Structure formats: structure tokens, C-alpha cells
Chain A
Amino acid sequence: MNQPTANPPRTAAADADRAVPPARMASRGVTDDQTASATPVAHTAPPTGEEHPRTAPLAIHDMTVAYDRKPVLWDVDLNVPEGQLVAIVGPNGAGKSTLIKAALNLMPMVSGQVLIYGKPYRKQRHLVGYVPQRETVDWDFPVSALDVVAMGRYGRIGWFRPVTRKHRRAALDALERVEMAQYAHRQISQLSGGQQQRVFLARALAQDAKLYFMDEPFASVDAATERAIVRVLHELKDAGRTVIVVHHDLQTVTEYFDYLILLNMRVVTHGPVDDVFTQENLRMTYGGRLTLLSEAAQLFTQQSRSPRVD
């Protein structure tokens, strides 16, 4: 088990040279077979255009993300299929939120590429909705729930123009969908945690995007909110939207989601929930066996902070 298994054919330049695409392709095929034998799901997504289909809502290639030179995500490479409810699952500190933030350009990547429906994120922003974690904002802010939801329309409204009645109505419809219409005019600090989460969800709905990112929407919410979110997720799925959710509750993964990404500093595996949600994969995700990698990352951080004493 400890020994890496198959030995791919040796390519003369691969070691001394960094990027030789044909060699890459050749070795890739071998590696795929090799991993397939170990895990039920094969890796996908080599670096060519054909394999990152234009229709994929989210295609990440070779993404490495570092906080202050300390890598937190290694070489993420995945395609998310369209029209599915996708869960990102992994232990604390696995880089789940980081993955979303890097995909949304909120954090710089060390390397890699993110494509939303085949184009860079900058050009596709209008297709993407985002539900951040609830703690990221000051809930004492003087706005009503409706105002917050209307923020989802700002992208459509554009610079300088005020929020018109039409957009307000769209915002109210979004609130209706999360069963919050009766709280539309409440100041947001007077809402419970779950209701605040639903307001955030409604804001993303008001955007009417094709691809949604949600960062821990189920974190410490009441049962009513959880039901409302699940219902909205299914509505979105029925409308052909793709939703990517950072999730922390293993018990509900199979119930709520179609597609699963297991993450722990790297993509352990991804695929339809039924195939991927196995004991073996979970053990690989949650078993803390990457201590050496963390140690190496720590070493880099230290070195980059203080000069080495030689």
C-alpha cells in the first residue's frame, strides 16, 4: 500500500523539462489507469480544450492556492457537470471555502485556470451567484432584508442607476421563494440566524444566475431554514441550474446532493454521490495523513517570513 504501484514509461525530457505536452498526455493515460485501480473514480480533465467541455459550468485546471506562501490547495483539477447539486465536503481546514473564493477571484491563485462555461470568470460574472458565509458581514447594518436581496440585482441595474420598482419586485419574489416575504422590511439584525441565511440565499436567487456557489449555507441554521434551502436547491436543479455547496454534514450528503467533491488540501476524488460516497474515500479524506505536506508548508512560511540564519 505504501509503495506507489505502476511505473509509467520513462520519458527522457519529462524530468529535466517542465512542460512537454505530448509526454504529459502519454503519461497521463497511464496514471489515470493507475489511479482508477485505487479509487473508484478516475481523474478527468487534462489540460486540453476538448476535455474541458464548453458546457461545463465550472472547470478548474491545475489550481494551486496559497495563503501567504503557505499552500492550502494543491493542484485542484475538476469539471463540474451541469444541472447538478454539488457538495464540497472535507474536514476543517481542508480548503473548501478557499476553493470557492479562488474560483470567484476573491483570492489570488498561485497557478491554474478557472473557466465558467468555457470562459474566464471575469467575463462570466453575470452567470454566477454567490452566497458567502453569514459571519462575513455586519448584521447591524441599517438595511432591510429586501434591501439586501435587491443587492443581487445591482449587477443588472448597473452603475449610477437607482433600484427601481421592477427590481424590488424581483427581490421580493426571491424572498417569497425562501418563505421570507413577511420579513421583507425587517432590519436584518432582527432576523434569526437561519432567516439571515435565507436572506443571503434570496439575494443569490434574485441574481438569477446559472451557477451558484454557497459557502456553508447549512451551518447552524434551524430546521425550517434547512428545509427551505433544500427546497430551493431542488427548484434550482429543476430549472437546470448548477449549485456548488460547501457542506459539513456527512449524514445529509447523500440525501441532498447528486455530485460530490471530496476535498482535503487536494481533490481526493469527485463524482456522482452514489459512486464516491464510500467508506474508503471518506477515510482518505478525513484521515489526517498529510502531516508531511503541512509541515513542508509550514517550513515555507517560516522561511519566507524570517531570513534563514546560515
Chain B
Amino acid sequence: MNWLISDTWTIVIGSLCAVACALPGALLVLRRMSMMGDAISHTVLPGLAIAFLLTHSRAPLAMFIGAAVIGVATAFFIQGVQKLGKTESGASMGIVFTTLFAVGLVLMRQAVDHVDIDPDCVLYGAIETAGTTWQYITLLGVTAPRAVFVNGGAMVVNLVLIALLYKEFKISAFDPALATTLGISATLMHYLLMTMTAATAVAAFESVGSILVIAMFIVPPATAYLLTDRLAVMMVLSAVFGVLAAVFGHVAAIIVPPWFGFEGTSTAGMMAVVAGLLFALVWLASPRYGVLARMYHRLVMSMHVLCEDVMGLLYRLEELTDTQPATMPVADMTQALVARAWLVRRALGSLGRQRMIRRGDLGYVLTDAGRDQARQLVRSHRLWESYLAHYLRLPADHLHDPANRLEHAHELADKVDVALGRPETDPQGKTIPSRDNQ
């Protein structure tokens, strides 16, 4: 693999574009308007075509303004169809952006002799060639590919706008009605966000293409949203994921196809794929909202419950047989707890390590520390039984199961105790152990 200077520029352009998109993208995801970003990014094409037909030139500024205006107009049209036609929002989006896109395709064909924008380029972008020498321009004494300035400009503008209007964006994303009562026009903020989205999409279409812009708008912020609850952190993380997607996307586009005997593939496409892979990774492994974390958490929870059940069982056995410590064989425990044998063994091992139980002659017995813990548990159980019997008037044979679930809420046992007036026995007449060992 030979790395060219244009590859570096490709990565720079991709990263700038990713950061520029991630900022409004985070707001779009939070406001549940992701598909609005999709709609607006599609309408870059008609915007360019109309601008060209009106000005008969390929002046970048005219093109830019044309596309951005059509982008914002898309948002207006969608609102219009929704209100005037009483059409559901998703459908009105679908109607407006497809129509505009069709207009764009037709105009492109009509203008095909005069302009060398080809629809494929608009759709997929041409980030690979954006870094080649003939695209260089010099601005403010810096010589770099044009796309660097375009995307960098979009990024700076977005950064400044969001930094200045951070709290306004935040509140109007969270609660538009509240924002309006506080004197922040939610409509204004909405259209400001739409303008940012449109301008960013126009700036980025050259690099990643108008459809793949949506990947940059939505996927990194969605990934970040699985990791954090705070807007600022989410924006930073989205930018980081976007940059990662850009870097690894380009590298993968160069490296992976040769494994199968091909030369290389579309960088923009690969960036979207890598963004998707990052999303999948976070979806699996996010410490809070990840699938694995939740599975693990569920496992830990049920193990925790099982440990408590084992201790409760041993404590009750001590009570019943009036011996301290009382021993119970593993097989009996498994049967009494209606649990799988290996789970019970795991629980016993874990309790042993915490020195809550120790091995006796025939099975396991509680240690002193374990007995204290177990007492709390049994106390909680019996208090909850009393509570249920008293307040819910559940019949006695219906008390055990719900109490079994509730007993693990130790935190509330004292409150229950107070609410019931510190009872001494539970509905079955069993002594409720006191809080401290007396």
C-alpha cells in the first residue's frame, strides 16, 4: 500500500465534514428529526440544478446559496404539506423530498450539455479525488484542497453557532413549548437548525455525496447517544465517532478490497459502513445502554438475588432447627430454591469469597457476618409480608411470592417498619428480626 498526500487530505476532508455534520446531527437525533436531515440532504441536487439554471454559471457561491435555500425550502414545504394537506409528517417528508429530487434529476438531464455535475457524483461524492493537486486553492496564505476550506468553513460556522446558542438549542430541543414561553422562538430555532443542516449538507455533498451525508448526520450522534446523557458530551462524542469513521473508512477502503484481489473501493461508502460498525460496537458494548452490559447486569442482578436467597434459606434453617450454625447440603439448597445447580454453585462460591458462608461438614453454614446480612434480608422479607397483608390485604398464601421480590429492596425495610408501627411478628406469626443483633 502506498500512502499518498492525497490520502491524507482525504482523511482531513472526511474528518472536517464529519465534525461539521455531527453538531447539527446531534440536535436532529435528539429532536427526533433524523429523517428531516435525510430529506434535506436529498434536495441538494435540485438546489444545485436550479442555481445553475438561474445563474448560468458554476460560481461556487451561487451554487451554495441555491442548494441551501432549497434545503430550507424543503423544511417549509414539508410543514406546508403537513398542515395544508393534513398529511402525516413522515408521508409529507417522503412526498416533498422525492418530488424535489425528481425535479433535480430532470433538470440535471436538461442541463447536461452545459454543466459537468453528474448525478452519480452528487449521490456518492468524490472524496478520493478531492485531495488531488488540481483541486488545490490558496486562501489566506494556506494552500489546500478546496474541499478542506469548504468543509472546514462549515465546521467553524456550526461550532460558533452552537457555542453561542448552546442553551437556546438545548431548551428548544428538550421542550419547544417551554422555550417559547421563555422568549426563545422555537420556530426560529427550528429553521436555524434546518438552515445549518442544509448548509452543512451542501458543503459536504462534494465529499461524501448527498445520500451519505445522512450517515454523517445521524449515525455518529446516534452512537454517542448510547453512551451519554449530556448534550455537550454527546456532541463531542459524535464528532469523535465521525472522525474515527472518516479515518478508518478511508483506510479500510484502501486496505480491505486488496484482500480479495480488488484495487480499492468508495471511501464515502466505506465511511458510512465504518460508522455503522462503530454503532454496532457501541450498541453491543456501551457500559450503560449496551446490550451486553444489560445482559451482564441482568445476570449480576439475578446472581445477587440468588445469593440473598441462599443466605435467607440458611438463616431460616437456623431458626427452624434452633441451631447455630445449621448446615445444608448443596443438593437440598438447589431443590429448595428451584434454581439450576450450577447457578447455585456459583452463588455459593461468590458468598464464600465474601466470607458470608463457609463450608461445614455436610454443606454450607453462615458465618457471623453472613448471619447479620441474612437477618436483614429475612427482616425485610417479613416486614414486606406484613405490609402486603396489611395494606394490600393479600391472603396469607399469596404473600410469599411478592414479598420474595420486594425483600431485595432492603433500603426501604426501615420505612416499612415505621409505617407498620414496628411489628414483632409477621402474618404467619414468625418473629421479625430486629435491625441490629440483639
Contact = CB atoms under 8 A, between A and B. Distances in A.
Question: Taking the complex as a whole, does A directly touch B, i.e. does some CB pair lie under 8 Å apart?
Answer: yes
Contacts of A64: 402
B435 interface: no
Interface string A290-305: 1011011001100110
Nearest to B400: A18
B83 interface: no
Given A8-B429, A307-B288, A39 B393 contact: yes
Most buried by B among A8, A15, A32, A75: A15
Q: Say which size band chain A's interface belongs to.
A: 35 or more
Most buried by A among B298, B313, B387, B405: B405
B428 A266 contact: no
Interface stretch (A22-30, A114-122, A129-137, A152-160): A22-30
Nearest to A35: B393
A303 B301 contact: yes
B297 interface: yes
The DSSP consensus for interface residues of chain B is: helix
Contacts of B401: 18, 75, 111
Interface stretch (B106-114, B143-151, B256-264, B419-427): B419-427
A17 interface: yes
Interface in B376-414: 386-398, 400-402, 404-406, 409, 411-412
B421 A32 contact: no
A24 B301 contact: no
A52 to B, nearest CB: 15
Q: Say which size band chain B's interface belongs to.
A: 35 or more
Contacts of A31: 389, 395-397, 427
A292 B394 contact: no
Contact of A304 (B301, B395, B425): B301
A35 B389 CA distance: 9
Contacts of B300: 307
B416 interface: yes
Given A10-B429, A292-B412, A74 B400 contact: no
A3 B420 contact: yes
A51 to B, nearest CB: 12
B346 interface: no
The 5 closest A-B pairs by CB, nearest first: A7-B429, A2-B421, A24-B397, A31-B396, A27-B396
10 contacts: A3-B423, A11-B428, A16-B316, A16-B320, A18-B404, A23-B397, A31-B396, A111-B401, A265-B392, A299-B411
